[in-house]
Amino acid sequence: MLLQQLINGILTGSVYALFALGFNLVLGALNILNVAQGAIFTLSAFVAYYLISVYHLAFPFAFLVAVLVGGLINVALEVLIFRPLRTRGGTSMSTLVASIGASMILISIAQLISGAQVERFPFGTIPDIQWNNFDIRISFTQVLVLSVTVLTMAGTYVMLNKTRLGKAIRTIAFSERIGLMLGIPTISIARWTFFVSGALGGLAGVLLGIMYNSVYFLMGEPYVLKGFAAIVIGGFGSVTGVIVASMMIGLAEVFSTVMGIGKFKDVVTFGMLFLFLLLRPNGLFGRDEEVRP
């Protein structure tokens, strides 16, 4: 059973990591805590669900479209809400409040479309294959989710560190003014950042919906706080940190059930968060910032 729970914890952590990566990207690059990430996660899952169940699109295409839609919704939020706020000198607090408002609007749309009903992807969307060895059960869906998560994390790391787009994102994360001085089109890069962030959120939403057979208008809500916890524990702006922290949270939650304290799993997660804030506020992989007098 312990090995099975380890797998459960890794899978849970994987979905947290995908969600938190997108969250972290916009926070790290643009200093915007975009709470609407949970709503984008949800809407992308619904897009994939309706494409498959109503329009009978094959899963890979529905998946890609849903991820694209997640990115585009986030870009729309940047164009309509965050850019105008920042142009007018909006603070982090005002962008946070605006993102809460956007989240509520998007969730209401999801509720209206779905009629507040829980849906699931049609049986057979992913082949129902299970492997059962050494007292471990793992399904094809779980292997798919794990593989996609690993590839996505690797791809995000490569994008941020080895591509021009990634360098531009890291530059404006350091200083938007320096980015402008270097001729980086900051507005365009900001939109690309939002696109990638939304796409990551959408990807996480579809995978979660497939893995847990549940697409529901409030499905993204629990992940916003967990994603934030992963960012704090892992270190703001650190991709490696967010991945490691997400795995820690996933495993801590699952093993709290194993230890018989499952009803305190949120206490465990947020207890870890408080400990890090007190003892290591920069997180596992965050860097100290030097403030010049």
Partner 1 sequence: MTGSISPVYRALKLFFTSALVSASLTGLPNWSTAIAEDIKIGVPLSLTGPIAFAGTKMKDAMELAFDEVNKSGYLGSNKLIPIFADDRSNQPQGISVTQQLILRDRVSAIVGYTASNICQASLPVAQELKTPALQADCVVPGLNKIGNYVYSAVRPSDAFVEMAIDKLVAERKIKTAGIIFQRDNPVFVNLQAVVTKAFEKNGVKIVASEPVTSGGDSDFSAQLTSIASGKPEVLAILLIGGQVGPAMIQARQTGMKDTIFLGEQNFDSVEVRRVAGPNAEGSIFPSHWFAASTIPGNIKYVKEYQARFNRDPDTFSANGYNAVWMMAQIIKKAGSGEREAIRAAMESIGEMDTIFGSAGKTSFKDRQVTLTPFFFTVKDGKVVSAFTR
The answer to whether 22 and 242 are in contact (CB under 8 A) is no
Question: CB-wise, 6 or 85, nearer to partner 1?
Answer: 6
| Shortest Cβ 124–partner 1 spacing (Å) | 10
- Provide the token pair at 200: 């990551």
Question: CB-wise, 9 or 198, nearer to partner 1?
Answer: 9
Residue 241's alpha-carbon distances to 1, 3, 90, in angstroms, are 28, 24, 29
Question: CB-wise, 264 or 274, nearer to partner 1?
Answer: 264
| Shortest Cβ 260–partner 1 spacing (Å) | 9
Residue 160's alpha-carbon distances to 37, 81, 149, in angstroms, are 20, 25, 16
Question: CB-wise, 115 or 183, nearer to partner 1?
Answer: 115
Q: In whole angstroms, what is the distance from residue 124 CA to residue 52 CA?
A: 11
Secondary structure tally for the chain: helices H, strands E: 12, 2
| Shortest Cβ 141–partner 1 spacing (Å) | 9
| Shortest Cβ 185–partner 1 spacing (Å) | 40
**Phi/psi at 65 (5° precision):** -65, -45
| Shortest Cβ 213–partner 1 spacing (Å) | 4
Question: CB-wise, 61 or 140, nearer to partner 1?
Answer: 140
Return the DSSP state at 263: G
- Provide the token pair at 99: 């993102």
The set of residues, in sequence order, having a beta carbon less than 8 Å from that of 73 and lying 6+ positions away, is: 40, 43, 44, 106, 198
- Rule CB under 8 A: which residues touch partner 1? 1, 4-5, 8-9, 11-12, 108, 111, 115-120, 123, 130, 132, 137, 139, 208, 211-214, 216-219, 221-222, 253-254, 257-258, 262-263, 265-266
